[in-house]
Amino acid sequence: MAIKLVLSDIDGTLLPRGNAEVDRRVVEAFHALLDAGLAVGPASGRALPAILPAFAGDEACAATALATNGMQVYTAGKLVHEEHLDREGLVQLAAAVREVPRAGMICFKGAEVFLVEGERDVLAPIFPSYAAHVTPVDAVPDFPVVKANVFVDADVQGTQALMERLEAVLPRLGLNTPMAGFMNVVPVGYSKATGIDIICRELDVSLDEVVVFGDADNDLEMLEHVPNSVAVANATPRAAAAARWHIGSVDEFAVPKAMMAIEAGEAESHDGYSGGEVAVYCIMPSAAASGCGLEAGARPLKTVRFAWRAFGLWRLRAPLDFSRNLEAPGDVCSHGDQGAAQYIIQPIALPPS
């Protein structure tokens, strides 16, 4: 089935942590899909005023968008759905955060950021762009709040522990974490997957016609919900496990490469085998050091058949004890369970593209 809608998380998926703008290759890939007649856009925890600067103000890249973890849905540049956070729940959350050392809470009104609890200096290293423009306030604002976040000076485990502690006292609000020290606040049961269902109805697109890219735990529901879900190599273990496909890292510009493969018509997945075979050779460390050439004494490991080709990648089918996407025959991949050993894929007969 042809792909009609492509959505991608931003931070850690399109945009390396610490960068302000996506690489030009991301913008070019978005426009290539748009020119091919596909809908494409971000699926981000950011609100739209924080999404646009990441694309250097290119509004076409966010005309279709799931903003604020799907709580704001845009099509053709227009807001078509918006959820609000329960104010009583936010007041309860602020009171609970107040008791946690080096933690805080922020709320948003458009591009304005309000510091409800905590210190700017704690927020700054976690999310510098928010800290740079935050305004301290004495209480939860009385305007309808779409976006709120909790921050804490903690590692991934500490963030997860605080999230579970807060959720235990919040009957009306849920939390998810896109990165260490930072949590998104959502209505209970709401996620990016909820927003995807809404945008699919708006665009008359089925889930089988959607591709999503993600890297973090706030992408879990989205990756589990959409059949053609893709995780980058730097994804969290939970996000990687939730995704059907796995590509390179954000630093390797893997998502724009995959988007260009979609534009080229290489994204249709196939059940079963495609009809080709490959030999997989085990390359030991000495051979890897010399460039992984087969002349370095590689020995055949086993022969397997291709399962499918999608997003420009060949996917190997089990029962290999490693399952890894390779961009092309001849590429090398590592497998952690095999220590320093590496593997190279050598074609016997390639299936048709």
Summarised one tens digit per residue, pLDDT across range 309-322 is 455 444 443 333 33
Q: So what's the pLDDT on residue 309? A: 46
Of 235, 263, 291, at which residue does a domain stop?
263
Of 129, 162, 187, at which residue does a domain stop?
187
User: Does residue 302 sit within a domain?
Assistant: yes
Q: So what's the pLDDT on residue 233? A: 86
| Nearest in space to 74 (alpha carbons), one of 162, 166, 170, 7 | 7
Whether residue 351 has pLDDT greater than 60: no
Q: So what's the pLDDT on residue 311? A: 53
User: Which region, left, alpha or beta, applies to residue 320 given φ > 0 means left and ψ of -120 to 50 means alpha?
Assistant: beta
Round to whole Å and give the CA distance between 48 and 80. 13
User: Does residue 316 sit within a domain?
Assistant: yes
Q: What is the mean pLDDT of the chain?
A: 81
User: Does residue 26 sit within a domain?
Assistant: yes
Are both 288 and 327 inside the same structural domain?
yes
Q: So what's the pLDDT on residue 337? A: 35
Q: So what's the pLDDT on residue 284? A: 41
Residue 266's pLDDT band, with cuts at 50, 70 and 90, is low
User: Does residue 152 sit within a domain?
Assistant: yes
Are both 144 and 169 inside the same structural domain?
yes
Amino acid at 277: E
Provide the number of structural domains found in the chain: 3
Amino acid at 209: E
Are both 153 and 200 inside the same structural domain?
no
Summarised one tens digit per residue, pLDDT across range 286-310 is 433 334 444 444 444 444 443 334 5
Are both 78 and 218 inside the same structural domain?
yes
Are both 103 and 182 inside the same structural domain?
yes
The domain that contains 155 carries what CATH number? 3.30.1240.10
CB contact at 8 A, 282 and 343:
yes
Q: So what's the pLDDT on residue 248? A: 83
**For the purposes of burial, counting CB atoms within 10 Å of the CB of 107, is it exposed (0-12), middle (13-18) or buried (19 or more)?**
buried
CB contact at 8 A, 65 and 45:
no
User: Tokens 């959350």 appear where?
Assistant: 93
Amino acid at 163: M
Structural domain boundaries enclosing 198: 5-82+190-263
pLDDT > 70: what percent of the chain? 75
Residue 340's pLDDT band, with cuts at 50, 70 and 90, is very low
Q: So what's the pLDDT on residue 18? A: 83
Stretch 218-234: mean pLDDT, rounded?
Answer: 92
Are both 182 and 109 inside the same structural domain?
yes
Stretch 341-346: mean pLDDT, rounded?
Answer: 44
Are both 245 and 317 inside the same structural domain?
no
Whether residue 148 has pLDDT greater than 80: yes
CB contact at 8 A, 7 and 40:
yes
Are both 181 and 195 inside the same structural domain?
no
Summarised one tens digit per residue, pLDDT across range 178-217 is 899 999 999 998 999 999 999 999 999 999 999 999 999 9
Residue 240's pLDDT band, with cuts at 50, 70 and 90, is confident
User: Does residue 308 sit within a domain?
Assistant: yes
**For the purposes of burial, counting CB atoms within 10 Å of the CB of 167, is it exposed (0-12), middle (13-18) or buried (19 or more)?**
middle
Residue 330's pLDDT band, with cuts at 50, 70 and 90, is very low
Output 258 or 283, whichever has higher pLDDT: 258
Q: So what's the pLDDT on residue 8? A: 98
Are both 317 and 335 inside the same structural domain?
yes
Angle at 310 between CA 41 and CA 52, to 5 degrees: 15
Of 263, 289, 323, at which residue does a domain stop?
263
Are both 24 and 62 inside the same structural domain?
yes
Are both 53 and 195 inside the same structural domain?
yes
Structure-token pair, residue 190: 């709401």
User: Does residue 119 sit within a domain?
Assistant: yes
Q: So what's the pLDDT on residue 116? A: 98
User: Does residue 272 sit within a domain?
Assistant: no
The domain that contains 207 carries what CATH number? 3.40.50.1000
User: Does residue 324 sit within a domain?
Assistant: yes
Residue 1's pLDDT band, with cuts at 50, 70 and 90, is low
Output 269 or 76, whichever has higher pLDDT: 76
Are both 101 and 162 inside the same structural domain?
yes
Backbone angles phi, psi at 293, to 5 degrees: -75, 145
Q: So what's the pLDDT on residue 2? A: 84
Summarised one tens digit per residue, pLDDT across range 150-173 is 999 999 999 999 999 999 999 889
Summarised one tens digit per residue, pLDDT across range 82-109 is 999 999 999 999 999 999 999 999 999 9
Round to whole Å and give the CA distance between 137 and 285. 58
